[in-house]
Amino acid sequence: MTQPAAAPVTPRRLDPEDAQHALAEVQERLRRQQLVEDLVHRQEQGDDKASLVEDLVHRQHEAELKSLVDALHPADIAFILESLPKDERQTVWKLVSPEHDADVLLEVEDWVRESLIEAMDRQDLVAATGNMDADELADLAPDLPPDVVAEVQKGLTEEERAQLLEAMGYPEDSVGAIMDFEMVRVREDVTLEVVLRYLRRLHELPDHTDQVFVVDRQDKLQGVLPLSRLLVSEPETEVHAVMSTDFLTLNPLDSDADAAGAFERYDLVSAPVMDDQGRLIGRVTIADVVDVMREDSQEQALSRAGLQEEDIFAPVAMALRNRAPWLLFNLCTAATASFVASRFEDTVSHIVILAFLMSIVAGIGGNSGNQTMTMIIRALAMGRITGRNLWQLVKREMMVTFMVGLCGSVVAALFAWAISDSIAIAVVMMASMICNMLVGASVGVLVPMVRARFGKDPAIGSSVLLTFATDSLGFFIFLGLATVFLL
């Protein structure tokens, strides 16, 4: 009997630019819709024909937009929503199919999720969150109205309700807040054939399942059975004979950043989460860890400039509250640097060329300190700095900075001598540059370390403080040496 030919497979190519192309197309369709509406509104008021045309065109554009959005992955829809102003975002959000609502809400950033939830009525929210897993619902719970959370809880089983309350009870940046409750458990006294039959009866395996967890009757973790070992071993073999007892476990109160570091260090796909009694209560997967790494990277980049995460289309007043404090602080530091320079007015007035050279000293010191600070913040995030290696690290950074400064200052001195025709100015330039680079390296080490010592984010405002130190002290060192040795 001839078998029918299989339908051709057209795999979707993973291309980060696809979302950007979709965004451009959505924006173009929104622009056309707005142009047509503006054109119709210019017609005489009360013109029934114009109103009918507007309604038809509006429906046509909505249908085109909906068709475009429905064909996208929820992650791409989330990217588009994050890239649109609030009014356009709400327009597109209303066209998203209800079946994608839950996935999109989980994909978007927190600052966008709030505006999307505000636009949904209670019934839509209950429908979108009703089929979520307990760990997913726990992620959204802080942004959902309390009555919606209570309504969704009614539809959960007793076990799911307990899991939800447990997940919501852990701190935000802990392993318990990101762990997944879906996993496969087996006993150690059964054969691999029994395990295989059990797996085949499941509708599907939980995402990122690379190992089966072996537990006793009290759910205490005894070992792990990698799927690769399960597939290549003899079916008659019992689980305890092939399971691994050398595995990494996490505690629900561990930091999610520490968990991410463990995944990176040991190339893990998943890891079990155990309570203090040794019972298996969940697992963390590589998907959860990637989200943690991405969020930490974004927060670190913003923190260094003294910013917090915000909607790029947020109201001006909200943006001011976010950015103004550190900008005002930066203004004060810049004013301090200018005040220091003004104290050497006589020196600059006698040797005008100093006014052109002192910005080089300050800038190079800042760049050097920024290199050191970036390395220290990275090492702190990875947990590589301890009390025992701190002093050794500081000495190394000072030595590296001195050697780099020595080489760079020779070039700077030659430049200063070329434009001033003065050996004395060149020597002052060289000494000032080395000293300010050492200042930058010192601040680059001390600021993150001191903030981390007091439990603060070592990246917050670090660049502003570094600029303050290298500008003020750079001007003071350069102009002070010039005053002493050139006048």
Summarised one tens digit per residue, pLDDT across range 306-315 is 666 655 666 6
Is-contact 206 183, C-beta < 8 A? yes
* CA dist., res. 101 & res. 140, Å (int): 12
Q: What is the pLDDT of residue 432?
A: 93
Structure tokens at 27: 């924006």
Considering the segment(s) 185-303 as one domain, its CATH architecture is: Roll (3.10)
**pLDDT tops 90 at residue 179:** yes
Q: What is the pLDDT of residue 448?
A: 87
Q: What is the pLDDT of residue 225?
A: 96
Residues of the chain with CATH 3.10.580.10: 185-303
**pLDDT band for position 424 (50/70/90)?**
very high
DSSP tag of 204:
S
Q: Is the pTM of this model over 0.95?
A: no
Weakest mean pLDDT among 234-243, 294-303, 363-372: 294-303
* CA dist., res. 339 & res. 476, Å (int): 10
Query: Residues 324-342: pLDDT tens digits?
Result: 776 787 788 888 888 888 8
- Identify each DSSP E strand in 77-235 by its residue range: 185-186, 211-215, 221-226
CATH of domain 316-486: 1.10.357.20
Residues of the chain with CATH 1.25.60.10: 16-170
**pLDDT tops 90 at residue 229:** yes
Q: What percent of the chain has pLDDT over 70?
A: 87
**pLDDT tops 90 at residue 436:** yes
**pLDDT band for position 4 (50/70/90)?**
very low
**pLDDT band for position 172 (50/70/90)?**
confident
**pLDDT tops 80 at residue 261:** yes
Query: Residues 94-132: pLDDT tens digits?
Result: 888 888 888 899 888 887 888 888 888 888 888 888 878
Residues of the chain with CATH 1.10.357.20: 316-486
Q: What is the CA radius of gyration of the chain?
A: 31
Is-contact 409 478, C-beta < 8 A? no
**pLDDT band for position 2 (50/70/90)?**
very low
Residues written for the chain: 487
426 or 32: which leads in pLDDT: 426
**pLDDT band for position 43 (50/70/90)?**
low
Weakest mean pLDDT among 16-20, 136-140, 193-197, 239-243: 16-20
19 or 165: which leads in pLDDT: 165
247 or 14: which leads in pLDDT: 247
Q: What is the pLDDT of residue 14?
A: 42
* CA dist., res. 257 & res. 239, Å (int): 33
Beta bridge partners of 274: 280
Q: What is the pLDDT of residue 200?
A: 92
Torsion sign over Cα 103, 107, 108, 114:
positive
Structure tokens at 452: 């981390």
Q: What is the pLDDT of residue 274?
A: 95
Distances (CA, A) of 198 to 205, 215, 226, 242, 471: 11, 15, 15, 17, 68
* CA dist., res. 75 & res. 340, Å (int): 52
**pLDDT tops 50 at residue 7:** no
CATH of domain 16-170: 1.25.60.10
State the average pLDDT over residues 18-35: 81
Q: What is the pLDDT of residue 458?
A: 80
Maximum separation of any 2 CA atoms in the chain, in Å: 104
Q: What is the pLDDT of residue 349?
A: 86
**pLDDT tops 70 at residue 364:** yes
322 or 368: which leads in pLDDT: 368
Q: What is the pLDDT of residue 397?
A: 87
Distances (CA, A) of 127 to 112, 130, 182, 231, 454: 20, 5, 22, 40, 44
CB atoms within 10 A of CB 108: 23
Q: What is the pLDDT of residue 57?
A: 66
Q: What is the pLDDT of residue 186?
A: 95
State the average pLDDT over residues 20-33: 83
- The whole-chain average pLDDT of the chain stands at 84
State the average pLDDT over residues 280-288: 94
Query: Residues 49-96: pLDDT tens digits?
Result: 556 656 676 677 788 888 888 888 888 998 899 888 888 888 889 888
